[in-house]
Amino acid sequence: MAAGLVRMVCGSFGPGPGPRGVALSSSTAAVAKAVSLSGLKPLPEKVKIVEVGPRDGLQNEKTIVPADVKIRLIDMLSEAGLPVIEATSFVSPKWVPQMADQEEVMRGIHRKPGVSYPVLTPNLKGYRAAVKAGAMEVAIFGAASELFSKRNINCSVEESLQRFEEVMSAAREEKVPVRGYVSCVLGCPYEGSVSPSRVAEVAQRLYSMGCYEVSLGDTVGMGTPGGMAAMLEAVMREVPVHALAVHCHDTYGQALANILVALQNGVSVVDASVAGLGGCPYAQGASGNVATEDVVYMLHGLSIHTGVDLPKLMDAGSYICRSLNRRTSSKVAQASCKL
Amino acid sequence: IHLSRRSHCMRGQIATGPGLSGSSWSTELFPDFVKIVEVGPRDGLQNEKEMVPTEIKIQLIDMLSQTGLSVIEATSFVSSKWVVQMADHNEVLTGINKSPHVRYPVLTPNIQGFQAAVEAGAAEVAVFGSASETFSRKNINCSVEESMQRFEQVICAARQACIPVRGYVSCALGCPYEGQVHPAQVTKVAKRLHELGCYEVSLGDTTGMGTAGSMAAMLRAVMAEVPIHALAVHCHDTYGQALANILTALQMGVSVVDSSVAGLGGCPYAEGASGNVSTEDVVYMLHGLGIQTGVDLAKVIEAGDFICRALKRPTNSKVSQATSRSQPSFNMCE
């Protein structure tokens, strides 16, 4: 490789700097197979990225985008190689007006073979509407904090799990896979610290009721690597690591460090949001979801395979930011943008 | 710690996430203490578009001196022809209220700078080498070898005056001109600086393009030649990788981290992009890991707020953004 060329690992990228002069990290031969960093467990060779921008991202943006923009975004994300793209949410538009066009979006997207398009279904009613609109995978959201559950979905954690049982039964019968989420795994905006054992309890319930995967969410982004490790240690006693994902918020800038720790502990599924869409509703002006571009950049620099084409992903990010009339929250995208 | 609904961390009672709960993962892998080298007043302000008056610089440094930081890079004795933001180096160094618990290194690119620094009362200096030839030529107009010879002069003079010298290696994880930089190149320069007499060598990811993978590879190479206690990392957050890179360095035994209050100092190689990692965000992570720093995070946030108001720009620190109750409006005409 000639000096001056920076090769993009694991992307559909030729030699040389990428478009717009993007300087991409390149792992050296010594770390070619994502071997362990300083004697820790080896990092996974592959990581599945679950793209939550169209749902979690847009749901938390002030500007509401029309269905055709959402559809175009999802189609661009499909082209970028993401294997899972959370498309929309079947909650009542009374609560989440941003997702009122749920049916139109589901019907309008071009479904790429091999890509899943899960949708949120908070209850049986939402589930039925989702399946009717063509959903082939759904997701349910639990919380590790009682107060958060009450304030967010107006019921206790136990009550929410009972609602989910109904969804699980129906989904099981119809062979629709269900993904579970646990909010507040590293802290709650109302309760403060959350015990790892509580997180493990909720995660175990979701897993044993039939969720094929449980995504552990640092809802307020206050977690740090030590807390992430402690929480995972507790959860992994109850749920096998291959069924775990992390959903980190970057509100305190800790997301990538937390994700790295999760990888070091065997997690190989990471949620992220294109352009870091979705601010933190609990701290005005603060960032929320970690940007998919920044996660992919790190993973590729670690020689971890994601299947994602970073330049195409960045195109999707630029597109949605233009539509939202806002600046990207992705540092990789900012770095590559020559103003 | 009570968390309010609107801002889940109150100033002065900054939550640092859940504790370690006795997790063996954390306690085994990290240093007990990490020294933070605050580079905001020099590296930060040097790379800000807005020029800051001397009294503001002095006030910033004085505020930082009260935060528990033990090293604050105060200014740079380079010619004001090249770095106009640092033209007031004499006034700054003589004007600050030096705390007995803090060291105030200054940059000295050559013997003239060193002599001027000593005359102004400097008790510690720093020299900046590069792992990339092209970067060296473009940045300081000479080859790496020529720069080493200049530094040798500085280090000799410093030794005679019993003044410690810190070395920096730029482009440790990549170069804006050459692209990839081989760990062997970094090792060569780091080793040279250490052998010449630098008590510490700070390895800088100048473009921020490094990742945990390239950090690990580079450190493995350098650690084979320079003792770990003499190494520091200086990470830029241009690609959002800084904290993950710092975490990696800590896991490998590094216990000195450079950072810049409020993430001052944009990246000169990518317009609009961020540069230095924010001290606030680093401290938040370290404290969350149970690592001592001696730093009062709330006071650093205050110093960051102060300088951002003076610069009329928002902070780059996510911790600061998350904990601020009211966001000052920077879009208004003043």
If you measure CA to CA, which chain B residue comes closest to A281?
A: B6
Rounded to an integer, the average pLDDT of A285-311 is: 94
The span from the first CA to the last CA of chain A, in angstroms, equals 30
Q: Around Cβ A29, how many Cβ atoms within 10 Å?
A: 8
Q: Which residues, given as ranges, of chain B have pLDDT below 70?
A: 1-28, 270-272, 325-334
Q: How much is the pLDDT for B5?
A: 34
Q: Around Cβ B19, how many Cβ atoms within 10 Å?
A: 16
CA A11 to the chain's CA centroid? 20
Rounded to an integer, the average pLDDT of A238-263 is: 97
Q: How much is the pLDDT for B49?
A: 81
Q: How much is the pLDDT for A42?
A: 86
Alpha carbon distances (Å) from A110 to A12, A78, A79, A323: 21, 8, 10, 20
CA distance B243 to chain A (A): 6
Rounded to an integer, the average pLDDT of A33-38 is: 45
Q: How much is the pLDDT for B26?
A: 53
Find which of A1, A194, A199, A254 to mutate to test the B interface (most B CBs within 10 Å of its CB): A254
Tell whether the model's pLDDT for residue A38 goes beyond 90: no
Q: Say if CB A302 and CB A277 are below 8 A apart.
A: no
Give, for B305, the enclosing helix (H) or strand (E): helix B297-311
Closest of B233, B84, B107, B109 to residue B172, by C-alpha: B233
Q: Say if CB A22 and CB A5 are below 8 A apart.
A: no
Q: How much is the pLDDT for A193?
A: 93
pLDDT tens figures, B188-232: 999 999 999 999 999 999 999 999 999 999 999 999 999 999 999
* The amino acid at A68: D
Q: How much is the pLDDT for A283?
A: 65
Band (A26; pLDDT cuts 50, 70, 90) = very low
Closest of A189, A192, A191, A217 to residue A202, by C-alpha: A217
- The total number of residues written for chain B in this structure: 334
In whole angstroms, what is the distance from residue A261 CA to residue A240 CA? Answer: 17
pTM: 0.89
Find which of A25, A186, A273, A337 to mutate to test the B interface (most B CBs within 10 Å of its CB): A25
Q: How much is the pLDDT for A336?
A: 79
Q: Contacts of residue A40 in chain B, CB cutoff 8 Å?
A: 29, 251
Q: Using a pLDDT cut of 90, give the percent of chain A over it.
A: 78
Q: How much is the pLDDT for A101?
A: 95
Q: How much is the pLDDT for A37?
A: 52
Instruction: Give me the residue label for tokens 């080896």.
Output: A42
Band (A7; pLDDT cuts 50, 70, 90) = very low
* The amino acid at B161: A
Q: Say if CB B176 and CB B206 are below 8 A apart.
A: yes
Cβ contact (<8 Å) for B251 and A40?
yes
What is the ipTM score, two decimals? 0.89
Q: How much is the pLDDT for A11?
A: 30
pLDDT tens figures, A139-148: 999 999 999 9
Q: How much is the pLDDT for A40?
A: 58
Cβ contact (<8 Å) for A335 and B208?
yes
In whole angstroms, what is the distance from residue A211 CA to residue A230 CA? Answer: 23
Q: How much is the pLDDT for A93?
A: 86
Cβ contact (<8 Å) for B182 and A28?
yes
The secondary structure of A109-165, three-state, reads CCCCCCCECCEECCCHHHHHHHHHCCCCCEEEEEECCHHHHHHHHCCCHHHHHHHHH
Instruction: Examine the residue annotation and report whether A211 is marked as an active-site residue of this protein.
Output: no
pLDDT tens figures, B154-166: 999 999 999 999 9
Three-state secondary-structure class, residue B232? strand
Active site residues of B: 267
Q: How much is the pLDDT for A36?
A: 46
In whole angstroms, what is the distance from residue A10 CA to residue A302 CA? Answer: 10
Cβ contact (<8 Å) for A302 and B211?
yes
Find which of A331, A336, A338 to mutate to test the B interface (most B CBs within 10 Å of its CB): A331
Q: Which residues contact residue A196 at a Cβ distance below 8 angstroms, ignoring those fewer than 6 apart?
A: A230, A231, A233, A234, A235, B18, B21
Q: Contacts of residue A287 in chain B, CB cutoff 8 Å?
A: 318, 321
Of the two residues A61 and A333, the one the predictor is more confident about is A333
Q: Using a pLDDT cut of 70, give the percent of chain A over it.
A: 86
* The amino acid at A25: S
Residue ranges of alpha helices (H) inside B66-143 are 89-95, 111-119, 133-140
Q: Contacts of residue B284 in chain A, CB cutoff 8 Å?
A: 224, 252-254
In whole angstroms, what is the distance from residue B267 CA to residue B173 CA? Answer: 15
Cβ contact (<8 Å) for A254 and B290?
no
* The amino acid at A338: K
Q: Say if CB B103 and CB B70 are below 8 A apart.
A: yes
Q: How much is the pLDDT for A201?
A: 97
Cβ contact (<8 Å) for A222 and B220?
no
Cβ contact (<8 Å) for A282 and B5?
yes
Band (A272; pLDDT cuts 50, 70, 90) = very high
